[in-house]
Structure 1
């Protein structure tokens, strides 16, 4: 996981870029969190997602993760341009009376609204892959387990997929599906799923493939299937499986991953009859969709 530390350097390609005027330099100061306010003309109302974020900040407050709110003086008030969730979390916490803030000049409402837009638009959104590897560097046990599973299965979790470059067999791009698999199954079962996808030379290993193979191998609504039979099905039927799963997903209005699981199950040999789910009266979910 170690990587060479990279110093900050100017981009060599930026020599001909025009330079914006810098404007007044901001300052920092410490303010009481309860003295801050927001202008509803351009600030967002608190959504359910906002409340969840604020609760998370309150429950897990850590100064190392603290983002300095950006504020400006309007008459006798301090208006938050960016960072209202942080400010509300500080007041809600009850033990954080003061916050360090970045004070900028924003003379009128249009300036403040424009700054708000800039803070929320002009940023590169962090990807699931970047979060995944950051969590690995932080020692997250589930993420480290997922990396170990992929390594032992012969898969490669892509850090930064290159635009235009064809995927190679075994390259995995479905971070969320991988983590769901690791948390839902034992390490052995999760490895079996990824290893099976490596053996069929999936390029790339997608969320639908992970979920579909996991369904066939481990869902109790399906009969027992060996990984070798899944590999054989892909080798024999190839693109037919994808085409049929798309048709089934559209016809039954079900998720593509589930449709792929049903079609894949249909094209594999089973060791035992399907295992009925609890309360299913002997009828399995896969069979119901195959008629």
Structure 2
């Protein structure tokens, strides 16, 4: 039986609470600060979600933050925070600190918007609950994960950013009406571009007065792949945004409203 060999994890780091004013950022390897991200942490500052900052000893009893610079900056701006939890590693010098920075961030998997949505829903977030209700009422199935090998059943989607944008911009009722159009077309999957194209056709003055929702559904049902290809070519030929090209191609396939005489 082959013995499994594990890498030596090195010296166990110290855990401590450090004075926030003793921790600096080395711009040699650190990224620039995202002011919006810092301010969001300040506005919603809570120890439950703060976590420990990874630091390395520097000269004169000070420290360099290797991981957690946005949280550190938020702590420095918060008047009720004086110390921060820290993991103190033994890296010495810029090169060693930068190597740790690469190892920490290179192995990290960022939370996707879809993963964040499901976590927010589980936490009882009211905006996430609104998305859930709108999708259910429209007959759209918001999936937890992208389809295996790109395979989906009818009316499934993972386009959470497009859904949230639609609801924020148009409100829950209008968003449901738009989503019903693509849900009834049995698209596999319902993509962000398709959601935005349906929104344009139904709510933009250029199109909405000339086409019925049912006509949009009929036009794209069973023909989505061909229309997507045609829309891509149309966008390239006419140098249009893809959403406008999708809407234009769909519009041409729709039965137009009968004029009232």
TM-score with structure 2 length normalisation?
A: 0.90
CA contact (8 A) 1:223 1:272 kept: no
In structure 1, C-alpha distance between the alignment counterparts of 2:142 and 2:52, rounded to whole Å: 33
Partner of 2:207: 222
Partner of 2:73: 88
User: Which 5+ residue runs of structure 2 have no aligned equivalent?
Assistant: none
Structure 1 residues 53 and 272: alpha-carbon distance in aligned structure 2, compared to 1, 3 A threshold: farther
Q: Of the candidates 131, 137, 151, which is equivalent to residue 166 of structure 1?
A: 151
Partner of 2:177: 192
Partner of 1:44: 31
Deviations 1:197-230 (A, max 9, x none): 1221100010000000111111122243222101
Partner of 2:244: 258
User: Which 5+ residue runs of structure 1 have no aligned equivalent?
Assistant: 1-14, 274-291
Partner of 2:48: 64
Structure 1 residues 255 and 39: alpha-carbon distance in aligned structure 2, compared to 1, 3 A threshold: same
In structure 2, C-alpha distance between the alignment counterparts of 1:100 and 1:146, rounded to whole Å: 36
1:206 and 2:191 correspond: yes
Partner of 2:121: 136
Residue 236 of structure 1: how far off its partner (Å)? 7.7
Q: Of the candidates 232, 235, 249, which is equivalent to residue 249 of structure 1?
A: 235
Partner of 1:283: none
TM-score with structure 1 length normalisation?
A: 0.81
1:29 and 2:16 correspond: yes
In structure 1, C-alpha distance between the alignment counterparts of 2:139 and 2:5, rounded to whole Å: 47
Which portions of structure 1, spanning 4 or more consecutive aligned residues, are displaced by more than 6 angstroms? none
In structure 1, C-alpha distance between the alignment counterparts of 2:256 and 2:114, rounded to whole Å: 36
Structure 1 residues 16 and 123: alpha-carbon distance in aligned structure 2, compared to 1, 3 A threshold: farther
1:181 and 2:176 correspond: no
Residue 192 of structure 1: how far off its partner (Å)? 2.0
Structure 1 residues 272 and 97: alpha-carbon distance in aligned structure 2, compared to 1, 3 A threshold: farther
1:100 and 2:85 correspond: yes
In structure 1, C-alpha distance between the alignment counterparts of 2:3 and 2:205, rounded to whole Å: 62
